[in-house]
Amino acid sequence: MAFLRLSATVFVLLIGLVGCDFLVRLGEDLKLSADSASLGVGESVQLMVRQKASWFSTTPLLDPARTTYTTTSESALIVEPDGRVTCVGTYGRPQESAWVSATNGQRHGHLSFELSLLGPGPTLDFMVESTDLPLVPDNARSPFVPCCSPPLALREGQQMRFKVRDRASGRELTSSTAGTRYTLFFGSGVPNDTHPSIVTGGPDTLSARSFLLDDEEGVITAPSSLGRLNYGRVIVFFRNRDRVGWRPVVVVHR
């Protein structure tokens, strides 16, 4: 009996030592890894995903193109469709943590990241050329926004002209022909989500189908209607090679 009590105590202590993250990973069939799981604001890393063959071995995915990614906190940790991960904030705290999950068919897995304010920050700037933008409403000024980039506001159906510039050289890099790619987040943690309601439970009036970004013209167009939403928030993330930037946009009623 004493042995059983001792074994139970040891088991509880082990849970405390290894943490719930380890226990969650035991039930997953994808193994996610990266060169570093500690990122400062503005730092990026590429995820690598393999299929678990046993407790101690993995094999390459049969169809890696089917892999999709989700972040638990798009205001702190961005994941792009190709599995590139970037720290964009820590909610103002010195340190924070977030997960990125991967799904491939019926298989899934995750990797936990430790985030820090100590980093290079954004290296691309989002320059607004429109002069008739509304103020961000007080009720939309959430503390849970990315670091280093104040939110902008757009009315329903309004267009905003913008440019993306390299912060160091000032070179314009707005267009995809210059190598810049954009990823949008709508509260679900899924990049370029066309149906955020699957995760958020809210309406799909603000999604990758209705919030339109034209990189050739340098124009963002807000959806014509928010429906029953009081306002909607979008995080626009952009990358040009190793340079990154981001800007939150709040869509409000006319």
H-helix or E-strand containing 237?
strand 231-240
CA–CA separation, 123 vs 240, rounded Å? 10
Residue 4 predicted with pLDDT over 60: no
Residue of 113, 107, 80 whose CA lies nearest to 95: 113
Domains of the chain plus CATH, in order, are 2-116 (2.60.40.1080), 124-252 (2.60.40)
* Residue 219 CB partners (closer than 8 Å, separation 6+): 159, 160, 161, 162, 213
Q: What percent of the chain lies above the pLDDT cut of 70?
A: 89
CA–CA separation, 153 vs 251, rounded Å? 6
Render pLDDT for 199-229 as a digit per residue (tens, 0 to 9).
Answer: 999 999 999 999 999 999 999 999 999 999 9
Render pLDDT for 48-94 as a digit per residue (tens, 0 to 9).
Answer: 999 998 778 999 999 999 999 999 999 999 999 999 999 999 998 99
CA–CA separation, 31 vs 203, rounded Å? 33
Model-level pTM?
A: 0.89
Whether the CB-CB separation of 238 and 245 falls below 8 Å is answered with: yes
> What pLDDT score does 10 carry?
36
N-term to C-term CA, the chain: 71
> What pLDDT score does 140 carry?
73
